[in-house]
């Protein structure tokens, strides 16, 4: 007879709300007539995300003493809750962006077909989000893998949702193949770790390693390395980044925006918890491993971004380099590093999301991929989106126009605190290199001679439709990225409370 565990339903409420909303959206795909389907599904999705936000905030307030629930498979603590808050906020912004921009190049598809699968799209988005909110609370290797697959499969389909476009299908396929490779590595690594320790729970692994003196055991180290590789794929850190530029370029831009922000948050926050909780004895190994991965990401991401003309590819490489910065915080492995990582993710997610949203707007009015050339004059034509992009680019480059500046300061401080002054120098040089391509975007938007200007609205015939929801999403991202510069103390306090549920 199978023992039924006690289930703390409240600890799962965020996930349940999102899954529930996903079902409702899916039902809408069948029951709601086509003309109302988009509005219905988007509303349900938005409400689902708002509900998720409310429950995760509630969980944050109510989970001061972190503990495991549901037969020790899931963490109910502030680290989980704060990650869920960030994820739900990204989800809400994604819904705002997707409501008008899925399929991404709508006017290519006949009007009647545009709304065919819109409800499924939102259902998938919510399901992905539910998977991620589960992923960040995973407490053993089994739930970790299950939730990883849960949200990955959703993302594979979302990448290919623009099935009229070859690029979208290609992106979906590429992501599927490379992503499966990453998942397989993670699964295999988990098996090896289980083989070495006979345990799946994070805390039990640490205990077993401590009691049986397994530290440095070949099987364990190999397993750890493969788990790190699997997480590296999801966080798109070099050298596991090969899929990133192609997938980011091919996927519909709202999906790219969602992926670049949310997947990184989930993978990095879970990674930090996993390593701190399950492998504290191996810290001397994984801190170095992550320092290496961080340096590789900074070098590859920045150098490759320098030569990109396509904006989505450039932003993809920039996201690789920012993964490098955040991994510096992870590599420090200290409480300061954890706070730095948690803080950095907030402005980063906002800027990454916002910049892809701006690209989505330009893409739509041009009807083709956005490059540095056809961005000319965009800043003067669309003042709000231009200024927002200006803020995002300078913020990415670490100039004090937003929280990105403090984030960089924090991760570098964490690196120095760990005794790695050389990593500070690497980070500084990487920032300098990155300046060139971020400023390239500002230059393209504002400084081209007027002869080169392309008036997008005219090229596409007629003025662009009012995109209030997109503007709202960009405004939200802008507010978060600028606000995080001023609200450093509250965010750090939140991050400290969250990090206090991890063992240090």
Q: Given the rule CB under 8 A, which residues bind other proteins?
A: 336, 339, 380, 387, 394, 399-401, 405-406, 408-410, 412-413, 416-417, 421, 424-425, 428-429, 431-432, 435-436, 439, 442-443, 446-447, 488-489, 492, 496
Cβ-based burial of 160 (10 A; exposed 0-12, middle 13-18, buried ≥19): buried
Distance CA 474, CA 480 (A): 10
Beta-carbon-side half-sphere exposure of residue 51 (alpha carbons within 13 Å): 20
Taking the CA atoms of 213, 217, 222 and 225 in sequence, report the sign of the dihedral they define: positive
Distance CA 374, CA 366 (A): 8
For the beta carbon of residue 479, count every other beta carbon within 10 angstroms.
Answer: 12
Asked whether 304 and 385 are in contact (CB, 8 A), the reply is no
Q: Could you tell me the smallest distance in angstroms from the CB atom of residue 396 to other proteins?
A: 13
Q: Could you tell me the smallest distance in angstroms from the CB atom of residue 136 to other proteins?
A: 23
- Nearest one of 22, 13, 264 to 127, comparing CA atoms: 22
Q: Could you tell me the smallest distance in angstroms from the CB atom of residue 176 to other proteins?
A: 40
Q: Could you tell me the smallest distance in angstroms from the CB atom of residue 409 to other proteins?
A: 7
What is the Cα Rg of the chain in Å? 22
Cis peptide before 307 (omega within 30 of 0): no
Q: Could you tell me the smallest distance in angstroms from the CB atom of residue 494 to other proteins?
A: 12
Nearer to other proteins, 173 or 335 (CB): 335
Nearer to other proteins, 442 or 460 (CB): 442
Nearer to other proteins, 132 or 397 (CB): 397
Q: Could you tell me the smallest distance in angstroms from the CB atom of residue 502 to other proteins?
A: 16
Residues in the chain: 504
The DSSP output letter for 201 is B
Distance CA 60, CA 83 (A): 10
Nearer to other proteins, 428 or 458 (CB): 428
Q: Could you tell me the smallest distance in angstroms from the CB atom of residue 328 to other proteins?
A: 12
Q: Could you tell me the smallest distance in angstroms from the CB atom of residue 439 to other proteins?
A: 6
The SS3 assignment for 62 reads: helix
Nearer to other proteins, 229 or 345 (CB): 345
Q: DSSP alpha helices (H): ranges in 279-334?
A: 283-306, 311-332
Strand-pair partners of 238 = none
Distance CA 271, CA 323 (A): 12
Nearer to other proteins, 85 or 444 (CB): 444
- Nearest one of 73, 64, 210 to 143, comparing CA atoms: 73
Nearer to other proteins, 117 or 418 (CB): 418
Nearer to other proteins, 56 or 434 (CB): 434
Strand-pair partners of 138 = 74
Nearer to other proteins, 205 or 401 (CB): 401
Q: Could you tell me the smallest distance in angstroms from the CB atom of residue 264 to other proteins?
A: 23
Distance CA 118, CA 103 (A): 8
């Amino acid at each position: 007879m199978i023992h039924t565990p006690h289930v703390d339903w409240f600890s799962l409420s965020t996930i349940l709300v999102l899954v529930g909303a996903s079902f409702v959206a899916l039902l809408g795909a069948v029951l709601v007539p086509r003309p109302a389907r988009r509005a219905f599904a988007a509303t349900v999705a938005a409400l689902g995300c708002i509900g998720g936000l409310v429950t995760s905030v509630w969980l944050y307030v109510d989970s001061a003493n972190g503990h495991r629930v549901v037969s020790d498979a899931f963490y109910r603590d502030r680290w989980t809750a704060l990650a869920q808050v960030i994820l739900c906020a990204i989800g809400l912004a994604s819904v705002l962006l997707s409501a008008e921009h899925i399929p991404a190049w709508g006017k290519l598809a006949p009007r009647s077909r545009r709304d065919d699968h819109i409800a499924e799209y939102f259902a998938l988005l919510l399901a992905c989000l539910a998977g991620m909110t589960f992923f960040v609370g995973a407490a053993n290797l089994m739930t970790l893998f299950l939730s990883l697959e849960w949200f990955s499969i959703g993302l594979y389909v979302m990448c290919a949702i623009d099935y009229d476009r070859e690029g979208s299908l290609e992106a979906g396929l590429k992501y599927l193949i490379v992503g499966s490779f990453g998942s397989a590595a993670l699964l295999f690594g988990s098996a090896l770790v289980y083989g070495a320790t006979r345990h799946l729970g994070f805390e039990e692994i640490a205990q077993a390693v401590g009691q049986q003196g397994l530290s440095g055991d070949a099987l364990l180290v190999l397993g750890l390395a493969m788990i790190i590789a699997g997480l590296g794929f999801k966080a798109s850190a070099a050298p596991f980044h090969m899929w990133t530029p192609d997938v980011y370029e091919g996927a519909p831009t709202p999906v790219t925006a969602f992926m670049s922000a949310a997947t990184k948050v989930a993978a990095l926050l879970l990674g930090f918890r996993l390593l701190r909780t399950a492998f504290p004895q191996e810290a001397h190994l994984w801190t170095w491993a992550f320092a290496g991965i961080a340096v590789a990401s900074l070098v590859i991401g920045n150098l490759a971004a320098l030569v990109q003309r396509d904006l989505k590819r450039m932003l993809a490489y920039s996201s690789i380099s920012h993964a490098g910065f955040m991994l510096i915080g992870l590599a420090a492995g200290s409480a300061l590093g954890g706070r730095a990582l948690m803080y950095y993710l907030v402005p980063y997610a906002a800027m990454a999301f916002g910049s892809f949203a701006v690209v989505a707007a330009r893409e739509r009015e041009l009807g083709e991929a956005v490059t540095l050339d056809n961005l000319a004059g965009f800043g003067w034509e669309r003042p709000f989106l231009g200024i927002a992009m200006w803020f995002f680019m300078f913020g990415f480059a670490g100039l004090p126009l937003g929280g990105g500046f403090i984030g960089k300061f924090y991760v570098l401080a964490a690196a120095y605190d760990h005794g790695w002054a050389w990593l500070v120098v690497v980070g500084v040089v990487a920032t300098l290199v990155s300046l060139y391509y971020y400023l390239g975007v500002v230059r393209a938007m504002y400084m081209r001679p007027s002869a080169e200007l392309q008036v997008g609205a005219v090229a596409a015939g007629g003025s662009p439709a009012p995109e209030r929801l997109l503007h709202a999403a960009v405004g939200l991202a802008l507010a978060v990225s600028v606000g995080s510069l001023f609200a450093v103390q509250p965010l750090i306090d939140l991050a400290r409370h969250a990090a206090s549920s991890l063992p240090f």
